[in-house]
Amino acid sequence: MNDPVFGPTPTAPADEGELVQLLTPEGERVHHPEFDLELTPEMLRTFYRDMFLVRRLDVEATALQRHGELGLWAQLLGQEAAQVGAGHALARQDFVFPTYREHGVAWVRGVDPVSLLGLFRGVDNGGWDPHAHGFNLYTIVIGAQVLHAAGYAMALQRDGVVGTGDGDRDAAVLAHFGDGASSQGDVNEAFIFAAWANAPVVFFCQNNQWAISEPIEKVSRIPLYQRANGFGFPGVRVDGNDVLASYAVTQAALKRAREGQGPTLIEAYTYRMGAHTTTDDPTRYRLMEDVEHWKLKDPLARVEVHLRRNGLADDDFFAELSAEADALGERMRRECHLLPDPQPLSIFDRVYAEQTAELAAQQAEVATYLSSFADHAGAGAEGGAA
């Protein structure tokens, strides 16, 4: 469309032409003028290993949900490369704000997969220490965490750990969100704040094409990365199924942020191969053909081909990895059962930093009430946790 007064209207939301890619779906290494990088065979194997294990983690958790051990699971199938690539680009001192689907980033940050299960099993709202891993708790309210990321980045600036030139000190923030989330006010406000503050934050949007049943191509008229222009910082679209490109682009953007050059928007172009969550039935709104089409771009397959074809990993490597994945799966199944149910009275703990007398009194009342059952039946207070 070309308006005689206002000029052209962009209309290509899903044009894949402008993707940054370093490894083709066929496993061929290609070069890119800005984002090229040399990786040791060992790093390539590490990327593959992490993606492989993360995929198993995801399959295992999905199975646990099917067996009634989890109430829900949000699968990352198909998004392993975007997450593992981005995760490896982080420095130890960086901080990550995930959605509820960033199991791959969690893995790279050293969060125990079993503690990821707590939220989905319904025993806690996130069982890990955000500060210990530089990885916030999952955020379910769409978009909220992106503002937190901008604010965390503003705090880094005030702490004097941006642009000092000391690579072990300078820090940045990685903010995750989905294509659907890009419609939320919070996300757009985060862009505004980050631009205003020139904050060291990398906005990492995994465009997996779907927000539950709504395709992004119906919502956005332009590729999401181009929105960054309007906010005054650079945007780039990367092949989110290419772990090398995801790593290279995120690394460059985080470096920029740590150096004090401000925010970047990365759109990792990928596909949600599974359902939105285990309660969703995607056959109601999308075609199997689309899924088949994306299977050809599988993030793991291309790395495996590349490793094998170039003699960078032998059969033993793959066999060992497979065994390692089996062990991980077995551990998750075992330890998921062991996650303790919260005690009813624990509901009242830690609502506040300083417990109030009022709430303590309510807790005591509930304790008395619960013990009245224990006296009768023996099933007792703990029964409440069933």
Partner 1 sequence: MTTTTMSMAKALNAGLRRAMEEDPKVVVMGEDVGRLGGVFRITDGLQKDFGEDRVMDTPLAESGIVGTAVGMAMRGYRPVVEIQFDGFVYPAYDQIVCQVAKFHSRSQGRVPMPMVIRIPFGGGIGAVEHHSESPEAQFAHTPGLKVVACSNPVDAYWMLQQAIACDDPVIFLEPKRHYHSTRAEIDDAASPGPLWESRVVRPGDAATLIGYGPTVGTCVDAAAVAAEEGRSLEVIDLRTLSPLDLGPVEESVRRTGRAIVVHEAHVNLGLGAEVAARLTETCFYSLEAPVLRVGGWDTPYPPARVEEAYLPDLDRVLDAVDRSFAF
Measured distance CA(2)–CA(374) in Å, rounded: 76
Q: Residue 285 catalytic? A: yes
Measured distance CA(360)–CA(358) in Å, rounded: 5
Other CB atoms within a 10 A radius of the CB of residue 234 amount to 15
Measured distance CA(235)–CA(253) in Å, rounded: 10
Which of 53, 106, 142, 336 is in the footprint of ligand TPP by CB under 6 A?
Answer: 142
272 binds, among ligand TPP, partner 1, none (CB under 5 to 8 A by kind): ligand TPP
342 binds, among ligand TPP, partner 1, none (CB under 5 to 8 A by kind): partner 1
Measured distance CA(167)–CA(86) in Å, rounded: 18
- Give whichever of 12 and 212 is closer to ligand TPP, judged by the CB atom: 212
347 binds, among ligand TPP, partner 1, none (CB under 5 to 8 A by kind): partner 1
Which of 180, 240, 263, 299 is in the footprint of ligand TPP by CB under 6 A?
Answer: 180
Residue 178 binds to ligand TPP (criterion: CB under 6 A): yes
- Give whichever of 182 and 198 is closer to ligand TPP, judged by the CB atom: 182
Which of 59, 63, 72, 305 is in the footprint of partner 1 by CB under 8 A?
Answer: 72
Q: Residue 309 catalytic? A: no
- Give whichever of 42 and 365 is closer to partner 1, judged by the CB atom: 365
DSSP codes, 247-270: HHHHHHHHHHHHTT---EEEEEE-
Residue 212 binds to ligand TPP (criterion: CB under 6 A): yes
Q: What is the DSSP letter of 341?
A: P
Residue 66 one-letter amino acid: R
Record the tokens describing residue 206, joined without a space.
């995994």
Q: Of residues 55, 56, 276, 306, which has the active-site annotation? A: 276
Q: Residue 352 catalytic? A: no
Residue 142 binds to partner 1 (criterion: CB under 8 A): yes
208 binds, among ligand TPP, partner 1, none (CB under 5 to 8 A by kind): ligand TPP
385 in helix, strand or coil? helix
Measured distance CA(228)–CA(266) in Å, rounded: 9
